[in-house]
Chains A and B, each alone.
Chain A
């Protein structure tokens, strides 16, 4: 075996070319990690929105809360269902909800309008959605025109501070609190009381009914009994499945984009790596001749050059990981086209992604180094030493 020191020293002897190649690989890896972190963050925000222990009732055939509509009669029938859990006060944990989108101007540029979700909830909703926590202020009082604002909206939209007044649907709404919801899509919503929102928006109709399951395992049974009920035509979804499904369209687009872009980039980078290694080997032909004369086998020369290429790529991979780290936590926003609402989420650079990035880099190095290394191994001693 040729000692690895040989490769490390060779690499160190041509610092500029090594640095350029490593930088190129690093940028590819950074884009790779960055794009997957974006897709990851988006999916995570929606996946965390729904709870496994909750069920969501929509009108049959509706594929989002926006397109659904349920009457008060359905709400009371669902509340009376035996699969619904009861709260500490003995009342069923059910939240019949009004769900609408309103246009809000952004802080930095009021001509940029986003469609923000306004959700009218029942008193129980704060218990049904166990991930929702009030971070500041007091919950809206029943019967008053008051709202609670998700914390991701606070920075980006004007008039969302506590004590300020938001104007929508032709009325003023006093902001009494801010809430967090473990990074989920709820944090991009405005919550108020359903009975307050009904008359100003769509009249006597709810868009969805969410309830806590008495036994999360018995979801199928609850689904069957509600969907079979002749008095109503509804679809019952597990809340977590519903929100995961809502993320599929855009999540898929982002992932496909990430894979497409990085694979084209990877091919380009591999071509570059092949060229660099060919050039490196061509200029070191005499060295290789010496190694062969000393009795090193062609196989160990192949291995040695592969290791060298992988080593350069590894430096690139680590660089790429470092480049992508500052992205972690950056908040961005886009429209989730499945629900047509704006959702804010953060890039999530996870250790797994970093590891993937490094593996990806090394793979590029090995692929790019293979043919040049093969050529090095096949050099004839006499020719190489001339």
Chain B
């Protein structure tokens, strides 16, 4: 393209101005991508859940346990192919400032039901055999500087005392919603230390066919309806989704802020781009005199706006896409699997094109329609 040099020269004339414009577009889109990713990540985690997994909780509320004896009765039900249980532990490590999830699970069945938890087989066997062993997500290695084989001591908040575990294995989740900052240990050891209370916080029920989920859930709940602890059973997805809704309006606020931010910065940027185009009235008249056609001038001005907007977009969106995985961002544990989704990149690119049109169209039309005689009167 033979006009490439001309466009470059135009952009290079006010280097500082072009750079600032590109940077502010980049910042706007970076922020937009970040905020939208908070919403998409929350939405994605609400979508998590094996279709064949149900979760059974105490109907009275999340904090009430279920009797361990329910396990055998659930397992014996038709359509149930696997069962595991877990109990929230809520231990703190060190000063307790860095929150991380930790719970007691029935190790063997839990790892069978969650194939998303991946670790070397020898570590898995070591963990299953070690009563006071623990399995940790790989993020905890860097977060607390733990090592494989090390003893770590948690302070119980719900179950008082010092609890020391040996780190027998480090897992990598294949699904980000599982979380890579979790510590799990043996339920049997937990139960023994709290005096064989025989409690499970929740049951994970594996079923043969996702289509049977509503029927099986109802059978489970009906069975325990008139017992001391009635249950509430739902798919794992529903369970996850209920956590996502706990943020309330916060994710709506995020997207509103995201929009305001983008709008504000783009407003200012578009204005600056239009002003700089207006300055060049005289020049455009000269170009017309030497034979540049109206269409060509229109295209040149639009391309210039496009280069600014699109370079900014590439920097901003690309930056967000690369930065978050590089710093292993998970929102202090609140946003496991934080990623900038492809849909965000597409919307961001559309915003950039919109900006190009908004900031380029007016000056481009003016350039194309400019009456040469009048314009040249202002040129010295």
What is the interface of chain A, defined by CB distance below 8 A to chain B? 17, 20-21, 23-28, 30-31, 34-35, 38, 59-64, 66-67, 100-103, 112-115, 168-170, 201-202, 233, 249, 253, 261, 264-265, 267-269, 271-276, 278-280, 282-283, 332-335, 337, 340, 342, 386
Closest Cβ–Cβ distance, residue B6 to chain A (whole Å)? 20
* Residue B31 lies at the interface, judged by CB distance under 8 Å to chain A: yes
The residue on A at minimum CB distance from B232 is: A103
List chain A residues, Cβ under 8 A from B257.
31, 34-35, 261
List chain B residues, Cβ under 8 A from A67.
90, 157-158
Given pairs A103-B62, A264-B31, A342-B248, 20 additional interface contacts (CB within 8 A): A17-B271, A23-B264, A24-B267, A24-B268, A27-B260, A27-B264, A31-B261, A67-B157, A100-B64, A101-B61, A101-B62, A101-B63, A168-B60, A271-B27, A271-B268, A275-B17, A275-B268, A275-B275, A332-B248, A334-B248
List chain B residues, Cβ under 8 A from A115.
61-62, 246
A261-B264 contact in complex given A115-B246, A276-B271, C-beta closer than 8 Å: no
Closest Cβ–Cβ distance, residue B38 to chain A (whole Å)? 9
* Residue B368 lies at the interface, judged by CB distance under 8 Å to chain A: no
Give which listed residue, B63, B264, B269, B380, contacts A31 with CB less than 8 A.
Answer: B264
* Residue B30 lies at the interface, judged by CB distance under 8 Å to chain A: yes
A113 contacts B245, CB within 8 Å? yes
CA distance A269 to B90 in the complex (A): 44
B253 contacts A38, CB within 8 Å? yes
A261 contacts B267, CB within 8 Å? no
Give which listed residue, A27, A100, A168, A335, contacts B263 with CB less than 8 A.
Answer: A27
* Residue B156 lies at the interface, judged by CB distance under 8 Å to chain A: yes
B275 contacts A279, CB within 8 Å? yes
List chain B residues, Cβ under 8 A from A274.
20
- Contact bitstring B267-307, A, C-beta under 8 A = 1, else 0: 11111111110110000000000000000000000000000
List chain A residues, Cβ under 8 A from B278.
279, 283
Closest Cβ–Cβ distance, residue A16 to chain B (whole Å)? 8
The residue on A at minimum CB distance from B251 is: A334
List chain B residues, Cβ under 8 A from A168.
60
What bracket does the count of chain B residues touching chain A fall in?
35 or more
> Could you pull out 6 A-B pairs where Cβ atoms are within 8 angstroms?
A31-B264, A63-B157, A268-B27, A275-B20, A275-B275, A337-B99
Give which listed residue, A31, A201, A282, contacts B279 with CB less than 8 A.
Answer: A282
CA distance A113 to B248 in the complex (A): 10
A169 contacts B90, CB within 8 Å? no
Q: Shortest 7 CB-CB distances between A and B: which pairs?
A: A272-B268, A275-B272, A27-B264, A24-B268, A279-B275, A271-B24, A335-B246
Closest Cβ–Cβ distance, residue A148 to chain B (whole Å)? 19
B24 contacts A170, CB within 8 Å? no
* Residue B242 lies at the interface, judged by CB distance under 8 Å to chain A: yes
CA distance A99 to B276 in the complex (A): 64
List chain A residues, Cβ under 8 A from B17.
275, 278-279
* Residue B3 lies at the interface, judged by CB distance under 8 Å to chain A: no
The residue on B at minimum CB distance from A106 is: B245
Closest Cβ–Cβ distance, residue A249 to chain B (whole Å)? 7
Q: In the complex, which residues 156-179 of chain B have their Cβ closer than 8 Å to any Cβ of chain A? A: 156-158, 160-161
A332-B253 contact in complex given A63-B157, A101-B61, A168-B60, C-beta closer than 8 Å: yes
A271 contacts B264, CB within 8 Å? no
* Residue B14 lies at the interface, judged by CB distance under 8 Å to chain A: yes
CA distance A31 to B20 in the complex (A): 22
* Residue B39 lies at the interface, judged by CB distance under 8 Å to chain A: no
CA distance A386 to B30 in the complex (A): 42
CA distance A31 to B250 in the complex (A): 14
The residue on B at minimum CB distance from A323 is: B260
B27 contacts A63, CB within 8 Å? no
The residue on A at minimum CB distance from B28 is: A268
B249 contacts A333, CB within 8 Å? yes
* Residue B128 lies at the interface, judged by CB distance under 8 Å to chain A: no
Q: In the complex, which residues 54-110 of chain B have their Cβ closer than 8 Å to any Cβ of chain A? A: 59-64, 90, 92, 96, 99
CA distance A298 to B265 in the complex (A): 31
List chain A residues, Cβ under 8 A from B96.
63
B271 contacts A21, CB within 8 Å? yes
